Amino acid sequence: MSAAFRRFRFLTASARRSKARLALRLSAVALLAAALVTGCGGSEGVSAPPPPAPAPAASPEPAPAPPPAQRSGTAVPPIDAGNRAEVVARWQDTYFDNTPFSWSGSVAGCLAGDTTAAFKQAVVRRLNYFRAMAGLPGDLALDTALSAKAQQAALMMDAADRLSHSPGRDWPCYSADGAEAAATSLLAYSNAPARSVSLVDGYLRDRGANNAAVGHRRWILYPPLATVGTGDTPQANAIWIVVPARAASSAAVAWPPRGFMPRPLMEPTDRFSLACPGASFAAATVTLRNDIGQSIAARVESRNDNGYGDNAIVWSIDTARSPPAGWDRGSADTRIEIELDGVANCAAGSRFVYSVTFVTP
């Protein structure tokens, strides 16, 4: 592998809502350093449609909401993804975070140590940014006790240079707390030389052959999710997902969301998804078009892989049948029109028509 590449790996949380654990497969993939990540999220994913999105307004878009008052906390106010100026503003003043990574532990000494409170807050704030972009409350709270166990899990993954939800006692730096955390956490690994909060971005992209179900994304964007723990070492992250009791909800959550999406965060060739509680996507169809109404070939990657948050459908652009030259506008805005039909048992509807416009901030 050349120096221009770095490696990312991800595993998804193994807990189902009503089942104790979910067996998951491990994936390790080498990807471009600029923006590539991969993960392991079980078998093929599910495809589901997001809430209907209005067509772009002809009138000038409103000014963006004012920036957050302060960055010391973890909450992120609502983001209007339909407002291009606001999406770009929040990308610049909320997504970007230069909180330095600092760790008091030692892999060689099997010392889990800890990261600073500021770095833990930065991790949770990044997760809340994703949720706010998806139209969910950006108010996840940090559990320090669970974070201590997640820290042990991250140490084990770093020491072993691999990921597992069921590490054995023969693993380097094994601990019971770390094994417990590994069984209920999203897991990420990177051997990139510079460590930052951006390692967790891979959970939302969910690239890689074993991540067709986008399980990491679905847990982070699970509407009832309220509490997480986080552990970090120089090469690993563990996000403990506290699965709450399911409250009644009619929300359908799309990623990327309807509206505008910063292209550095997600490419139009990445996976799209829509999740809805209790929905069936067995007969759902996905139709894509470019900004002048021409058809774009879609490939449904998952529609029946349930157990990762809400049921979901996952699809992507079939670039073999629809090369990017026909729809990708490069540094200009690239709009993809989406229509999902035939969704069953979703309180938000059976048909979803919306657009996602990828922008270069």
pLDDT in tens, 73-118: 899 999 999 999 999 999 999 999 999 999 999 999 999 999 999 9
pLDDT in tens, 188-227: 999 888 899 999 999 999 999 999 999 999 999 999 999 9
What is the pLDDT at residue 245?
Answer: 73
Please state, in angstroms and rounded to a whole number, the distance separating the CA atoms of residues 216 and 207.
Answer: 10
Average pLDDT, rounded, for the chain: 84
pLDDT in tens, 156-195: 999 999 999 999 999 999 999 999 999 999 999 998 888 9
pLDDT in tens, 333-352: 999 999 999 999 999 999 99
Residues of the chain with pLDDT > 70: what percent?
80
Query: Would you say residue 306 has pLDDT above 60?
Result: yes
What is the pLDDT at residue 64?
Answer: 64
Q: Which of 99, 98, 92, 94 is nearest to 70 (CA)?
A: 94
pLDDT bin (cut points 50, 70, 90) of residue 46 is very low
Query: Would you say residue 298 has pLDDT above 60?
Result: yes
In this predicted model, which residue has the larger pLDDT, 176 or 17? 176
Strand partners, 268: none
pLDDT in tens, 112-144: 999 999 999 999 999 999 999 999 999 999 999
Cα separation values, 21 from 162, 244, 345, 359, Å: 20, 15, 25, 39
Please state, in angstroms and rounded to a whole number, the distance separating the CA atoms of residues 156 and 205.
Answer: 24
Please state, in angstroms and rounded to a whole number, the distance separating the CA atoms of residues 257 and 251.
Answer: 13
Please state, in angstroms and rounded to a whole number, the distance separating the CA atoms of residues 240 and 232.
Answer: 12
Phi-psi region of 131 (alpha: psi -120 to 50; beta: other; left: phi over 0): alpha
Query: Would you say residue 145 has pLDDT above 50?
Result: yes
Q: Which of 271, 262, 109 is nearest to 203 (CA)?
A: 271
Please state, in angstroms and rounded to a whole number, the distance separating the CA atoms of residues 180 and 200.
Answer: 20
pLDDT in tens, 253-295: 999 999 999 999 999 999 999 999 999 999 999 999 999 999 9
What is the pLDDT at residue 63?
Answer: 63
